[in-house]
Amino acid sequence: MIVTKKPKLFISGESVENMSGIVFFKTKDLMKIKEFYLSIGATVWLEQGNCVILKHGNLLLGFCKSETCEKNGVITFFYRTKEEVDLAYRGLREIALDEPKENEKYHIYHFFANDPENRTIEFQCFLYPVKPYEEGEELLKTRRSIRYFENRDVPDEVLWRIFEVCRLSPTAKNSQSYYFVVIRDKKTLELLASLRGGSSAPLSRAPIAVAICSDPELSMSHVQDGCIAAYHFILTSWLHGLGTCWIADMDRIQVKEALGIPKEHYVATVTPVGYPAKIPEASLRRMTKEMIRFVD
């Protein structure tokens, strides 16, 4: 069972946006069920007396202690890639009902298992692009820099949905000094890819690239405006299943001449955009306490 968000609900004539939901089950052994779902990657979102609400990605899954046990339906956890499904299978091999496989009817890659009370649980990924589903924390934690891309186009409707979000990027005094330049021409992509050697090479491997620019006549903070808009674009692209990579040091005259950008304007980055050929593992990071200083 997948909890989805409704864009708008009308109550007494007023609209309420971004509502979420929780799926609840009755359980005879609350502690055992809690420990099981924690072992497969869920976290405790909220505990209320004889009920616990677990969080797995954007799914809120509740269990309440009862004399009866509900087993109807299928609890489905879905992932971005087949590799993540395979990783889940390796951890659950002993209780898996079958090996991961492609399902041609639904165009998914999945396997099934049972939880301790014999509920059916499914682990899957979709083998085609899906609409955005990640919540904020998951989006921020899973974003990766992508340097290799699948050989398929980025649909215009997906790009427009991304830009519709990016137009809300914050700017100094609401100057809205940033703008985007979409590059599809292969020769132009190859030219841009050649400017910084290996650092800019990903630009020639993607179906398109996007330059994020800003106009100094509109804002004294145009550099910051452009960089914020660029990161807005990178995160929103990831939300829509697209990979990007921040290519730095592209505020160059060659770039501006190739793209028809005024020489006084600022180019925050030119990023490749496409469906990832492979998503790299997360690199090692410092511990949180190593990054924080408090000034008394």
Q: Report yes or no: 157 and 215 within 8 Å, Cβ to Cβ.
A: no
The two structure tokens encoding residue 170: 């914050």
Angle subtended at Cα 167 by Cα 161 and Cα 168, rounded to the nearest 5 degrees? 110
Q: Which two tokens stand for residue 131?
A: 């609409």
Q: How many residues does the chain have?
A: 296
Helix (H, G, I), strand (E, B) or coil at 38: helix
Q: Write out the two tokens for 251.
A: 């505020």
Query: Whole-angstrom Cα distance, residue 78 to residue 231?
Result: 26
What is the rounded CA–CA span in Å between residue 170 and residue 11? Answer: 31
In words, the CATH class of domain 6-126 is alpha beta
d(CA 34, CA 26): 12
Cα–Cα distance between 123 and 116 in angstroms, integer?
16
CATH topology of domain 141-273: NADH Oxidase (3.40.109)
Residue pair 189/274 in contact (Cβ under 8 Å)? The answer is no
228/213 Cα distance (integer angstroms)? 11
pLDDT in tens, the chain (296 residues): 333 344 455 545 555 555 578 999 999 999 999 999 999 999 999 999 899 999 998 899 999 999 999 998 999 999 988 999 999 999 999 999 999 999 999 999 999 999 999 999 999 999 988 888 888 888 999 999 999 999 999 999 999 999 999 999 999 999 999 999 999 999 999 999 999 999 999 999 999 999 999 999 999 999 999 999 999 999 999 999 999 999 999 999 999 999 999 999 999 999 999 999 988 888 898 999 999 999 98
State phi, psi for 27 to the nearest 5 degrees.
Answer: -140, 145
**Which value, to the nearest 10 degrees, does the dihedral of the CA atoms of residues 219, 224, 227, 231 take?**
-110
CB neighbour class for 82 (10 Å; exposed up to 12, middle 13-18, buried from 19): middle
Residue 189 CB: number of other CB atoms within 10 A? 22
What amino acid is encoded at 181 in this protein?
A: V
Please state the pTM of the whole predicted model: 0.79
The domains of the chain are located at 6-126, 141-273
